[in-house]
Amino acid sequence: MRLAQEEGIRVPRTEVISNIEELRKCTSLLGFPVVLKANGTSGGEGVRVVRTLEEAERAFHLLQSPPLFARAAKRALINQDLTLIWPAIRRRRFTVNAQTFEPGRDATSLVACWNGSVLASLHFEVLNKCTSNGPASVVRLIENPDMFAAIKKIAKRLNLSGLHGFDFLIESETGSAVLIEINPRATQVGHLSLGPGRDLPAALVAAITGETIREAPPLTDNDTIALFPQEWKRNPESSFLRAGYHDVPWEEPDLVRACVRGRQNVSELYSHRERIRAFSTVRLPNS
């Protein structure tokens, strides 16, 4: 965040918090509400918006604590995510940051970079989330000059290559973007091919091989995209599943079935065919 500020990018004030005394000083300086974030987390698991000192202290202890062995093992075995294994074994505490709370609409970008240049980019306003602090379930494709300008500056300053996610807040009154987070990894929208300059895998392949970029045709002309299975799991009757483009990987029927089976207690609400109709009029091929 300090580096971004040096580049003239709007960011919330951010401080690293090491102990309770620093937390008390920081919250006194920043005021409430304050956003506490644990580095190295994802999916909103490491974010808490706190409105009192008591809330802040409880959240700080929770966010800073090393992950439980059971949680790390579950993530590794079930989700194939090894991120928490070493912190759990070594009992390593997470670094916690405090940020001023910035009101506005959530927005997110994923970019493909090579040697500090942005090759392709996807920018979205978040319309719905799985949970209040969780990942997006419905997004709307946008173009925001502030977001793109900030990303270009960061990519050049850090000489970025690969896929990188940027999170923003867009001010309701001005439409200006405030950078709140950077993640050096792919995000859940990276597979979406949405036209020239918006096909990230193709842009990276071209940069690595030196060949001419071969972009796939746009998946849809609809700006609103309901991410599968997130929005369907959130609400099988969501209007976005029909009004927007529902990102169901029909070409991978086994994957679709696995996602359908993964929704807890869904059988209490829908029969198998009713569940399928809940997210599309297209039917899965018979097994």
pLDDT in tens, 164-202: 999 999 998 888 999 998 999 999 999 999 999 999 999
Cβ within 8 Å of residue 202, ≥6 positions away: 120, 193, 213, 214, 215, 216
Output the CA torsion sign for 79, 83, 86, 91: negative
User: Which of 153, 181, 209 is the C-terminal boundary of a domain?
Assistant: 209
Domain closes at, from 70, 100, 130: 100
How far is residue 127's CA from residue 5's CA, in Å, rounded to a whole number? 27
Predicted pLDDT at 74? 65
CA dist 140 and 200 (Å) reads 17
> Residue 125 has what pLDDT?
96
Q: Please write the tens of the pLDDT for every residue from 94-121.
A: 789 898 888 889 999 999 999 999 999 9
The rounded distance, in Å, linking the Cα atoms of 56 and 135 is: 22
CATH value at residue 70: 3.30.1490.20
The pair of three-digit structure tokens given for residue 102, joined into one six-digit string: 């910035």
Its domain, for residue 155, covers: 105-209
Spatial separation of the C-alpha atoms in residues 66 and 93, rounded to whole Å: 5
Classified as helix, coil or strand, 245 is strand
Residues 117 and 193 in one domain: yes
* pLDDT (0 to 100) of residue 91: 65
Kindly state whether residues 172 and 130 are assigned to the same domain.
yes
Q: Looking at residue 62, what is its pLDDT?
A: 85
Instruction: Look at residue 226 in the predicted model and tell me its pLDDT.
Output: 97
- pLDDT confidence of residue 151: 97
The pLDDT of residue 260: 84
Together in a domain, 111 and 95: no
Instruction: List, for the chain, all residue ranges whose pLDDT scores fall below the cut of 70.
Output: 42-44, 66-80, 82, 84-91, 262-287
Kind of pairing between the strands at 224-227 and 245-247: parallel
Asked if residue 176 and residue 253 are part of one domain, the reply reads no
Residue 287 lies in a domain: no
